[in-house]
Chain A
Amino acid sequence: MKNFLNVFTTGFKYCWRDPVSVAVLTAFPIVLIFVLGNALAGFISPEYDFEPIPVSAVVEPGGSLETFLQSGEISQFLNVMFTDRENAGELLESGDTFITVIEEDGEVSVIRPAGGGTTSQVAVSVIDSYKQIGEAMTIAAMNGENPLELLPLMAAEISVTVVPLGSRVQSATDYYAVTMLVMILLFTGMNGLELFKKSMFSETGARVLISPVSKPALVGGLLAASTVTSYIQGMITFLFSMFVYGVYWGENIPLVLLTLFGVTLFSQAFAITLLLIFKSPNATMGMMQAFIWVMTFVAGGYTKVNFGAAQAIFNYSPNSLAHTVIFGSAFGGNEQRMMTDLALLFIYVAVLFIIAFLLGKRRLTS
């Protein structure tokens, strides 16, 4: 235990005093969140990046709701399938549509699956707009005007805003804070890599390895040091984004912190596993960087892969899993999906550690 603590405290000091690590993993994301969230938000805002949302509708033929839903302006937002109740239920259950709109005796209601996420919320907000238009049409009829003629004009005024639970609007900074922090935490494997390289794969490492310190105490101490350093670096960005930039991380902060811890652990486990496979810190660094950049930019939300198996793979990337949990927690995601993704993230961590343990047992015992 004494040796574990000795290795841990020394490793922690070593990482924490590394100016490159502090600059890249702490200062850099804080600056980048600000730049992406503000200066570049107009170019790459995620709020405008969507296809018309599939919706089923059970309406009274020739009524105002049918006219409203068929208008050109609404078709920008909703892809409406007019059908009967039974088929609408099946479409909703299979996930082919996000909501079902039902018009019955002049009353309009919306069926939305529990935890339907941001997409269904957008569709609901469009239908809510119709209800507000209804009041305007009543006033028009009372003034002797044909209310149906007003519909296209009024539909054109509809603007879509994502209104999450708690009446909070997701800003570009909210979005980039999450994606940036997840990406940076994945890069914190560099802390572990540098520490393991120094303490086991260098001349200093030779001196450490011939000392009486046991391998479990050495590896455990180094791993704990890099994980704690990395998590603290991530927390600095997290707290800075929350209290200085006002980023909304939702109400369930413990869940967010647990997810971020999972990403940190994943990164350390990934770095160690690669190092034990390649036995070369430089090769490991190259592999790590390639993996993280690809996962971030293809699966992380900056761009989307929308073809077959690739989409499935990227949806299960560590970035994507963390995004699902954090965005879902803050903006009303599917709880079951969130828990599944969080569990999957920790399963990745466990699998990587088991591989690292087996490789280490074979390669580090003398």
Chain B
Amino acid sequence: MILSMNDVVKRYRALTALDHLTLNLQKGENLGLLGPNGAGKTTAIRVLTGLTGADAGEIRLFGKELRGSTATAIRKRIGLVPQDLALYETLSARENLEYFGKLYGVYGAELNKRVDLALEILGLSDVAKKSPKKFSGGMKRRLNIGCAVIHKPELLILDEPTVGIDPQSRNHILDFVSEINKQGTTVLYTSHYMEEVERVCSRVCIMDAGRVIADGSVEEIAKSAIFEETITLEVKEPSPSLEENLRKIQGVVRCSVENRAVTITSTAGSGNLARIIEIASPYVILGVSAQRATLEDAFLALTGKKLRDGGEAS
């Protein structure tokens, strides 16, 4: 086990930021921590990295508590990409990478080699001697990640690393995170961008109000949270008898006809697509579409909130 947080509580006066949070991360996993603003994602990271103390609960990294003489050894195995840019603006890109590399004990030829490689992978070789002040948002974000991985951490924690950047840089970062995970680095990736987590992470934890409310693969969470699925047929000249026959199928909750569109809502997992097609076969079927349950739907179903803005769903 790379990381385990058991029953962790963190309060800021009246606000409970972490409410008996339990979270585990296995070696080699790529875990996405999803949640709206204020869900407790950043607090969870601050607590597990020792930046903020927990009020209760147990936190272990690499099987040990982050305190005393073991803390230094544990810290060497962690890399953090904070939510905001964590760079020295008056230093060049190369100097930033060198500084953070040295903090983790990487020196000399090995440091130079790693810095050159990081600059190349992140697409910053041409601007290595320039200050990040002159960089675009995407370039800054890439350098921000480079500084966290220069020492080759076993656990990489990324706290919303793509906020406010262009799609091209976002793709670059997501590819980089996937690649580094394939090479064996365990990743904890927080975001409120659903599509990023779906693309990058093998496992997802959904957080709300300081707790994990769902934990599993994207498909598992979607299945567990979505209770209905919808199939829409486009039929030439549908009759009232078609609607009546479809309603009789086991598991169908609703059926409606509007012009050519016949919409059938069933309980999740009823698997009655074949039966629907069979009943509609006397008619000319122009098209069939099935609504796939997404993580967004699951999040909405679980929390009653939209993920992106954190507001209540209408």
| B86 CB-CB contact with A under 8 Å | yes
Task: Tell me, in angstroms, the Cα distance from A13 to B84 when the chains sit together.
Answer: 22
Q: Is the pair B72, A212 in contact by a Cβ cutoff of 8 Å?
A: yes
Give every chain B residue within 8 A of A10 (Cβ-Cβ): 88, 91, 95, 99
B interface residues (Cβ-Cβ under 8 A, vs A): 46, 49-51, 53, 66-67, 71-73, 75-76, 78, 80, 82-88, 90-91, 95, 99-100, 102-105, 107, 147-148
Q: Is the pair A6, B103 in contact by a Cβ cutoff of 8 Å?
A: yes
A interface residues (Cβ-Cβ under 8 A, vs B): 2-3, 6, 10, 13-14, 17-18, 198, 202-214, 366
Q: Is the pair A14, B91 in contact by a Cβ cutoff of 8 Å?
A: yes
Give every chain B residue within 8 A of A18 (Cβ-Cβ): 90
Q: Is the pair B100, A198 in contact by a Cβ cutoff of 8 Å?
A: no
Task: Tell me, in angstroms, the Cα distance from A208 to B104 when the chains sit together.
Answer: 10
Q: Is the pair B148, A207 in contact by a Cβ cutoff of 8 Å?
A: yes
From B75, B78, B99, B105, name the one whose CB has the most chain A CB atoms within 10 angstroms.
B99
Given contacts A203-B86, A206-B86, contact A211 B104 (CB under 8 A): yes
Give every chain A residue within 8 A of B66 (Cβ-Cβ): 366
Q: Is the pair B50, A210 in contact by a Cβ cutoff of 8 Å?
A: yes
Q: Is the pair B107, A17 in contact by a Cβ cutoff of 8 Å?
A: no
Q: Is the pair A211, B100 in contact by a Cβ cutoff of 8 Å?
A: yes
Can you list 9 A-B pairs with a CB-CB distance of less than 8 A? A6-B99, A14-B88, A198-B88, A204-B86, A205-B86, A206-B80, A207-B80, A210-B49, A366-B71
- What are the 10 A-B residue pairs with the smallest beta carbon separation, nearest first? A17-B90, A203-B82, A211-B103, A203-B86, A203-B84, A204-B86, A6-B102, A207-B86, A212-B75, A212-B72
Q: Is the pair A211, B75 in contact by a Cβ cutoff of 8 Å?
A: yes
Given contacts A203-B82, A207-B148, A366-B50, contact A212 B90 (CB under 8 A): no
Closest Cβ–Cβ distance, residue B281 to chain A (whole Å) = 61
Return the chain B residue nearest A195 by Cβ.
Answer: B88
Give every chain A residue within 8 A of B49 (Cβ-Cβ): 206, 210
Give every chain A residue within 8 A of B148 (Cβ-Cβ): 207
Q: Is the pair B91, A212 in contact by a Cβ cutoff of 8 Å?
A: no
Give every chain B residue within 8 A of A202 (Cβ-Cβ): 86
Closest Cβ–Cβ distance, residue B5 to chain A (whole Å) = 16
From A2, A206, A213, name the one whose CB has the most chain B CB atoms within 10 angstroms.
A206
Task: Tell me, in angstroms, the Cα distance from A10 to B107 when the chains sit together.
Answer: 15
By DSSP majority rule, is chain A's interface helix, strand, loop, or mixed?
Answer: helix
Closest Cβ–Cβ distance, residue A16 to chain B (whole Å) = 8
Task: Tell me, in angstroms, the Cα distance from A202 to B148 when the chains sit together.
Answer: 16
Closest Cβ–Cβ distance, residue B151 to chain A (whole Å) = 9
Q: Is the pair B75, A210 in contact by a Cβ cutoff of 8 Å?
A: yes
Return the chain B residue nearest A15 by Cβ.
Answer: B90
Q: Is the pair B88, A3 in contact by a Cβ cutoff of 8 Å?
A: no
Give every chain B residue within 8 A of A206 (Cβ-Cβ): 46, 49, 51, 80, 82, 86
Closest Cβ–Cβ distance, residue B8 to chain A (whole Å) = 15
Task: Tell me, in angstroms, the Cα distance from A198 to B80 when the chains sit together.
Answer: 16
Return the chain A residue nearest B75 by Cβ.
Answer: A212
Task: Tell me, in angstroms, the Cα distance from A213 to B104 when the chains sit together.
Answer: 7
Return the chain B residue nearest A207 by Cβ.
Answer: B86
Give every chain A residue within 8 A of B107 (Cβ-Cβ): 2
Given contacts A10-B95, A366-B50, contact A212 B76 (CB under 8 A): yes
Q: Is the pair A207, B90 in contact by a Cβ cutoff of 8 Å?
A: no
Task: Tell me, in angstroms, the Cα distance from A126 to B66 when the chains sit together.
Answer: 75
Given contacts A18-B90, A204-B87, A207-B147, contact A213 B51 (CB under 8 A): no
Q: Is the pair A2, B90 in contact by a Cβ cutoff of 8 Å?
A: no
Q: Is the pair A207, B100 in contact by a Cβ cutoff of 8 Å?
A: yes
Return the chain A residue nearest B85 by Cβ.
Answer: A203
Task: Tell me, in angstroms, the Cα distance from A207 to B149 when the chains sit together.
Answer: 12
Give every chain B residue within 8 A of A2 (Cβ-Cβ): 102, 105, 107
Q: Is the pair B102, A210 in contact by a Cβ cutoff of 8 Å?
A: no
Task: Tell me, in angstroms, the Cα distance from A204 to B143 when the chains sit together.
Answer: 13
Q: Is the pair B82, A207 in contact by a Cβ cutoff of 8 Å?
A: yes
Return the chain A residue nearest B67 by Cβ.
Answer: A366
- Contacting residue for B90 out of A13, A209, A211, A214, CB 8 A: A13
Given contacts A210-B51, A210-B75, contact A3 B103 (CB under 8 A): yes
Give every chain B residue within 8 A of A13 (Cβ-Cβ): 90-91, 95
Task: Tell me, in angstroms, the Cα distance from A207 to B71 when the chains sit together.
Answer: 15
Return the chain B residue nearest A17 by Cβ.
Answer: B90
Give every chain B residue within 8 A of A208 (Cβ-Cβ): 103
Q: Is the pair B53, A366 in contact by a Cβ cutoff of 8 Å?
A: yes
Task: Tell me, in angstroms, the Cα distance from A24 to B17 when the chains sit together.
Answer: 42
Task: Tell me, in angstroms, the Cα distance from A132 to B85 when the chains sit together.
Answer: 75
Return the chain A residue nearest B87 by Cβ.
Answer: A204
Closest Cβ–Cβ distance, residue A45 to chain B (whole Å) = 41
Return the chain B residue nearest A205 by Cβ.
Answer: B86
Closest Cβ–Cβ distance, residue B65 to chain A (whole Å) = 12
Give every chain B residue within 8 A of A198 (Cβ-Cβ): 88
From A6, A202, A207, name the one whose CB has the most chain B CB atoms within 10 angstroms.
A207
Give every chain B residue within 8 A of A212 (Cβ-Cβ): 72-73, 75-76, 103-105
Give every chain A residue within 8 A of B87 (Cβ-Cβ): 204
